[in-house]
Structure formats: structure tokens, C-alpha cells
Amino acid sequence: MSNTIPKTPVPVAPETPRIPIMMDALVLTGPSAFEVRKEPVPIPGPDEVLCKIRGVAICGSDPEIVRGDLIGYWPPAFPFIAGHEWSGEIVAVGRDVSTFKVGDRVAGEAHKGCGFCTRCLEGRYNLCQNYAKHETGHRHYGFINNGAYAQYNAYSIKAIKHIPDHVSFREAALVDTAGVTAHSMDQTGITMGGTVAVIGPGPIGMIAMRLARVLGAAKVIAVGRNPRLESAKGSADALVDFSKHDPVEMVRAMTGGAGVDEVFECSGAKGTFNQAVRMVRRGGRIGLLGVPKKDVIEELPFAYMVANEISVYGSKANPHVSERIISLISSGKLVLKDLVTHCFPLEEFGTALETFVGRKDSVMKVVIEPNGPEV
């Protein structure tokens, strides 16, 4: 692999019956160019573990990385191994690891902060001030450090969480996705017995609808358009098709004109931020989860926001939420397994990506299984 990519060195160890010397990995070789080829299996360093990747979900950011839209940033250079929504099992531990052992089932996070900058000391390691400075200990797996589209990868113990045996690897690959919604709801709060609107019924939006109810919302309104809006029937109490109706008028009408308590914008489309502001009640809160393209600039009703004390929260990644998400999945309170609609082996990544991007066959989440399906 190219030395231009900041990553943990990959020395070659003697082959054992459990851990091979080489592995299959999906390597991005250039913009929109990739291949499955043999790469050395990484060796975990201090406070790291080697994980056998059992499931890795395609994220909405992955197509941008594959296309090279953000080359020089995500990833820093080619060749590169992407993938950050993953689950697996530990097959080796590095020096000073005492809280994990071989055989543990785990789910991963993408972010691992340096641990000593101001933001990390505040607990906001997703905003680490030493971002991309490998020498400080910062890691962003699948974005600037090699990720999970491979049979194995090494991870800091700060970026993994235990999962119980009865939670499948496919479900656990969605812990990262669900964590993004949980972090946003930590910031905004959920009004007990209140009403929530979710704009964008994609994977993040679908989980937001379900998690809002788990956290106490009495009514959930989904805003989108078919065919994905149809998929929200089991997760929302009411559906608003913006291609047929003015979404602000419809949401206002459904709340007796008052507006909803919280809005979660999960699409990143132009105009939806403005709609969110206008459909929330006085003193209401807005969580921004959708990632807009760089050229999207919103016009907002400034005076309305000030006069009505509308709070807006940007949201990035999923700090400090994975264990709670795993607990909710484990208890059956948060159901994610039905959102995994398609699974593919690593060598069929091209078909998997095409299915995800093209929204084929009523796709929601696509999971790649680099080591085959769970038995």
C-alpha cells in the first residue's frame, strides 16, 4: 500500500491456523476504480485488537469516497481501504489490552480522538483538533485510515464496543448508523409525549423515527416521497409526501397549527432546513443529520428563528452512544434487523454499491460480509 496514507504499519507475522498472513481486501485504486486483492493482515499495536470483519454496511459517504469526490481529504490518497460501519470478532490482541479478549464480538466506531486536545478532553472526540494527524494517535477508520472492507483490520480499543451473542453481526453493523441518530437526539432532546418530524426516510431517517419513539415521542411524522416514504409506514404515525403536498402546511395541520416539538433533517437536500425551521413549534429544536453537498446554501427565516427561540444543532458522528444503542438492540426495544435488506460477499462489492446508490429492489441498508455470512 502507498506510504502516503497515514495508517498503522502492517508488519507480516508468521501464519497461524486462525490468522493468515494475507487477506482479501477491497482496495480503492483511483477514482471509481477498485479491486479485491491480497493485502497483508495488520498486526495490532499497543491498545489495539485485530478484528475479523463479519459485516460492514455501506454508508451514504462511501460512494463519495469511492468516486474520489473528496480525494486528498477522504481518502488522503489512493490506494485505500474504505468502510466504517462494521461488526466482527477479535482474533488477536496487542500489548496492554485487558478489557477485550480473543473471541469477543464487537461493533466499531469510525472516530478515535487523540485524547489530549481541548475537544477530546471535553469528551467531543468526534471533533478532535488533531484530526488526520496520525502521530498524535488520532484515527478516522475508513476515511483517513484503512477501514473495514477487508477480511481483517486493526482497531484501537477506544473504537470498539462489546456486542452480545444474540445480536447478529448484520444488526451490529448498523450500530454506527444508529449512533448518528442517537448523538443528534442527545443534543436536541426528545419531548416526552411530544411529536417529532423526520425529513428523509432513508436509513438514518428510519432509525430516527424508531429511536424517537423509544426515547418517549408519542407521535412521529415522516416527510419524504415514494417509494421510500412507503417504507416508513411501520415506523411513523403519519406520512407527508412533499411531491404532492406542502410539507410545512401538512405538518402544521397535523399538530393543530402549533408545529412539532423536534425536527430531524436526515436528507441534506436543499430547502429542507428551511422547512424544518418553519414546521417546528415555538421554542422547538432541530437536529441536522443529513449531509448536504458543499454548494447547498440555505435561506432561513432569520427573524422567525429569533422571535420563536428556535434551537438548531449540527450533528457529527456518534460519540458516547454505541453502548446505549447496543443495549437497545439487545433488549429488542430498537429493531434494526429488517433495515438490512441486501447482503453481498466482498467480491460483489460493485453490485452492492450499484444496488445501494441506485436504490434498487427497495434497498435500505446493504451489508458486505468479507468472511461470509454468519452461521
Domain topology for 181-314? Rossmann fold (3.40.50)
Q: Say if residues 180 and 365 touch (Cβ distance below 8 Å).
A: no
Which amino acid makes up residue 201? P
Domain topology for 22-174+336-369? Quinone Oxidoreductase; Chain A, domain 1 (3.90.180)
Bridge partners for 260 per DSSP: 280
pTM over 0.75: yes
d(C-alpha 134, C-alpha 5), whole Å: 10
Joined grid coordinates for residue 93: 490482541
- In this prediction, residue 337 carries a pLDDT of 96
- In this prediction, residue 1 carries a pLDDT of 38
Q: What are the residue boundaries of the structural domains of the chain, listed by start?
A: 22-174+336-369, 181-314
- In this prediction, residue 294 carries a pLDDT of 87
Q: Whose CA is closest to 85, among 180, 154, 177?
A: 177
H-type alpha helices, 215-333: 228-231, 247-254, 272-279, 302-307, 322-331
d(C-alpha 75, C-alpha 84), whole Å: 13
Query: Which residue in the block uniquely carries the three cell numbers 444508529?
Result: 178
Q: Whose CA is closest to 61, among 185, 204, 226?
A: 204
- In this prediction, residue 9 carries a pLDDT of 47
- In this prediction, residue 16 carries a pLDDT of 54
Backbone angles phi, psi at 205, to 5 degrees: -65, -40
- In this prediction, residue 5 carries a pLDDT of 46
Per-residue tens of pLDDT for the chain, all 375 residues: 333 444 544 454 455 547 999 999 999 999 999 999 999 999 999 999 999 999 999 999 999 999 999 999 999 999 999 999 999 999 999 999 999 999 999 999 999 999 999 999 999 999 999 999 999 999 999 999 999 999 999 999 999 999 999 999 999 999 999 999 999 999 999 999 999 999 999 999 999 999 999 999 999 999 999 999 999 999 999 999 999 999 999 999 999 999 999 999 999 999 999 999 999 999 999 999 999 988 999 999 999 999 999 999 999 999 999 999 999 999 999 999 999 999 999 999 999 999 999 999 999 999 999 999 998
